[in-house]
Chain A
Amino acid sequence: MDICSMTALELGKKIQQKEISAVEAVKAALECIEDREPEINSFVTVDAEGALKRAEEVQKSIEEGTIVSPLAGVPVGIKDNMCTKGLLTTCGSKILKNFKPTFTAEAVRNLERAGAVIVGKTNMDEFAMGSTTETSYYGETRNPWNPAHVPGGSSGGSCAAVAAGECTYALGSDTGGSIRQPSSFCGVVGIKPTYGTVSRYGLIAYGSSLDQIGPVGKNVADCAAVLEIIASHDKKDSTSIDRKDYDFTSALVDDVKGMRIGIPRDYFLEGLDCEVKENILNAVKVLEDKGAVVEEFDLSLVQYAIPAYYVIASAEASSNLSRFDGVKYGYRTETYEGLHDMYKKTRSEGFGAEVKRRIMLGSFVLSSGYYDAYYLKALRTKALIKKAFDSAFETYDMIAAPAAPATAPRLGESLSDPLKMYLGDIYTISANLAGLPGISVPVGTDSLGLPIGMQLIGNCFEEKKIIRAAYAYEQTRADAGKGAD
């Protein structure tokens, strides 16, 4: 019985049935971590001691019958931008290298109430800025399918950890594709929920109006089950929405008959790798064969999404990250003369190049005289993009698209050309700008053996439709949920 190759629901069931104990489950995960970490580096912090202690407590609660969740006792990895009380939370940055939060993020608390056992905090691009998990101060994470390649980002640590079996599932965050793109690169399933579905309280903000926490799992069912647990209406987050339909697992139905799937022509033009294109169109064909209605259409304004995204996200980031100043917590430069010198040196030494680039970009677009030309224009563009999606969803139940233009690049390939890296977000960022839910589900591998993910984008609050279609597709694949070897 290989615990690390089980899905979360399988393992959870065996724990409930007392076939496996929570302690055994976490020990298996910790062994796998010990085995794989030297190569993969999915974690910034592994909390072996805390996890074992917690597993014992959870096991006791399960035996007493006080926790009955389907995922109780299952080991989870938490992206390192979610606050965990007393446990190092770095955001992949030097500036938070000693930061232990005083409270736990609401989404993580929801998991804890359901008996989750946190094995550690997963690596990420610094402050979630990046698409490769190479901008982390704690070293890059490598793709378990081929360690010469990146896992994608920014939730690369979460996705690589799940693919490698280091944890059974994980939480990621998605501001411009940071769950869906690395899920695609690592051959796992990831969901970015509708904005407002999962509380952002305790998520260290990058682009507040775009950030959303979501699950990363081995299959669609695991992701639906995790989303059901983490989603909640949280009064501590003013942008949290009170939804009545948190029963996402009810959408795990193998039936897509009559579902209308739109294929945006603009997403399948030049710039898209032909192997990726072929695999996705094949997957769409599978859904069509199962009774879905597939149609091509023109989604307008696609070319404006990237500039609008980078203006809005960077503007918000420049302000969100200003609190890291060396005054109250985190890294402070060793020698300085006076307040301003302390600020400058702390921030110069504490932030990496990509973060500084975005702080400068964001500060520039908000500065007096440029606000209207950049920030305001980006907000208008965002509104128009939302409108374009609204009109698409009048006709279609969902949109099928790639999650990225190509499979995972080799390490080091992207950092030299940030603009190219930004363009890699083209298929994912629109969902963030419009607040829409999206899922990435594995549909095959390329000739190098690297995974390819298909993205399904739904209308706001229609996670169930994309979960159902992804689930129906997944039923046709024998290798679903297997992860990397």
Chain B
Amino acid sequence: MAKQYETVIGLEVHVELATKTKIFCSCSTSFGGAPNTHTCPVCTGMPGSLPVLNKQVVEYAIAIGLAANCEITRMCKFDRKNYFYPDNPQNYQISQLYLPIARNGYVEIETGDTKKKVRIHEMHMEEDAGKLVHDEWDDTSIVDYNRSGVPLVEIVSEPDMRSADEVLAYLEKLRLIIQYLGASDCKLQEGSMRADVNLSVREMGSGKLGTRTEMKNLNSFKAIARAIEGERQRQIELLEEGRAVVQETRRWDDNKEYSYAMRSKEDAQDYRYFPEPDLVPIVIDEAWIEKIKMMQPELRDEKLARYKKEYDIPEYDARIITESKRMADIFEKAAAICNNPKKVSNWLMVETLRLLKESGMEPEGIRFSPENLAKLVKLTDSGDINSSVAKQVFVKMFEENIDPESYVKEHGLSTVSDEGELLAVLEQVIADNPQAAADYKNGKEKALGALVGQTMKAMRGKADPGQVNRRLKELLG
């Protein structure tokens, strides 16, 4: 019988914090400026410059630590990690090794029907490096320091995960916590959330951990799942062939679906960490922690529980809506304004998700405001517009966040409640379609549809189809 293997996975997750300015200077963190425009002597490591810690970084880190059930280190310090690379302007990175800001936490994940805790070993604050651009044409590299000094936290888990599903659930959990805190937008594709996977395999039932590898360059959830499966297979094959897994760092190539060895443990650099002498220790007292706790928003799990109690919407819908902070915010605000959570939920679950999917957008990128969505719900509730007009208006709102009330008015889309105008049109339609009218009178129910269609066309969609139906039946009855 073939041996059964268990996969053991731990994660190192880097998250770019959503501060307006960098961790040690007042340069902007905004993405996409012309190269080296968001820079100053500090983040380009000019001689004589000194770092000054951005307090907001510490507050975000404490908030994440608390939400992940960590112990907050009351006196934490920064250390220097020394290594030479051109994207690292000082040739050392200011990070934390000896006294990281948070330790010993956990988050709870759900896969299928099972719940489990993934423990967090530690979380530390550090600065991001610049970006190297390689010019293949004239074989040079150019460096852009705009990203240099953007604040990061690195969250290091214990090796508590056993499958790609658990890894994805863990990442999703971290993403939700951090997005809800407003501490980061956590976009894997844009690199504001990056995960390195530490993976080993062992025979089922063995108490000893196997030799692990670390995989880098994983920039989507799908890539992570494929990389885990690929690496698991590779390690099992090695063991089956009686060969050993080498402790090393590997780079995942998602196109080739294969990982390549980058450097082995023997080549690992000695970072010569030591306490950063240019920064003073950060003393975090109870009052500061309490203040951050007070400001902590409702997190996803709490929100989900509250939705079940407060709103009459299916649990499935509540889950989807709360998976995005933006979506949940829109839902709650719009529901409160129009007092119709069910309709608001429907708009989000059907039309919003459809349009997001079509345009390849994330829910966090939704542009329309809750106020406008509430207006749209009100317009349909009152019968001012019919459902097909509402859909048209919604598309416009999704694209440009237009105000549905003024849009309907400007484009003359509101349902005509003027019975006189409707009656005139109906009489005209009947007169123009004598055959259909006759068919209906002779018991052909279907013929009515054609008349309703003609009427709606003549009214340029501004009639309520129910009303048209009723009136037609009366006239032909």
Contacts and interface: CB of A to CB of B under 8 A. Distances in A.
Interface of A: 82-83, 89, 91, 96, 99, 101-103, 105, 200-205, 207-209, 235-239, 315-316, 318-319, 322-325, 327-329, 339, 343, 363, 366-368, 371, 375
Contacts, number: 95
Given A103-B41, A363-B272, A201 B86 contact: no
A205 B50 CA distance: 9
Contacts of A329: 46-47
B48 A101 contact: yes
A318 B272 CA distance: 10
A83 B272 contact: no
A105 B48 contact: yes
Contact of A238 (B48, B84, B90, B278): B278
B138 to A, nearest CB: 15
A368 B273 CA distance: 9
Contact of B270 (A205, A318, A368): A368
Secondary structure at the A interface, as helix, strand, loop or mixed, is: loop
Contacts of A366: 82, 272-274
Nearest to B269: A368
Interface of B: 41, 44-53, 80, 82, 84, 86, 89-92, 141, 143, 270, 272-274, 277-280
Contacts of A102: 41, 46
B48 A204 contact: yes
B86 A322 contact: no
A201 B25 CA distance: 13
A328 B48 contact: no
A323 B41 contact: no
Given A201-B50, A238-B51, A323 B278 contact: no
Nearest to A202: B48
A202 B46 CA distance: 9
A328 B49 contact: no
A328 B84 CA distance: 13
5 contacts: A91-B47, A103-B48, A322-B82, A322-B90, A322-B91
Contacts of A91: 47
A234 to B, nearest CB: 9
Nearest to B51: A238
B84 A96 contact: no
A92 B169 CA distance: 57
A83 B46 CA distance: 10
B53 A201 contact: no
Given A83-B48, A315-B274, A366-B273, 16 more contacts: A82-B48, A83-B47, A205-B47, A208-B278, A237-B50, A238-B52, A238-B278, A327-B143, A328-B45, A329-B46, A339-B86, A339-B141, A368-B272, A371-B272, A371-B273, A375-B274
Contacts of A200: 50
B50 A371 contact: no
Contacts of A89: 47
Given A203-B48, A204-B48, A366-B272, A238 B92 contact: no
B279 A238 contact: yes
Contact of B44 (A82, A318, A328): A328
A371 B274 contact: yes
A5 B272 CA distance: 50
Given A204-B47, A319-B82, A239 B278 contact: yes
A201 to B, nearest CB: 5
Nearest to A204: B47
A105 B272 CA distance: 29
Contacts of A318: 82, 272
Contacts of A83: 47-48
Contacts of A324: 47
A329 B273 CA distance: 25
A176 to B, nearest CB: 15
B151 to A, nearest CB: 16
B48 A325 contact: no
B86 A323 contact: no
B280 A239 contact: yes
A302 to B, nearest CB: 24
Nearest to A379: B275
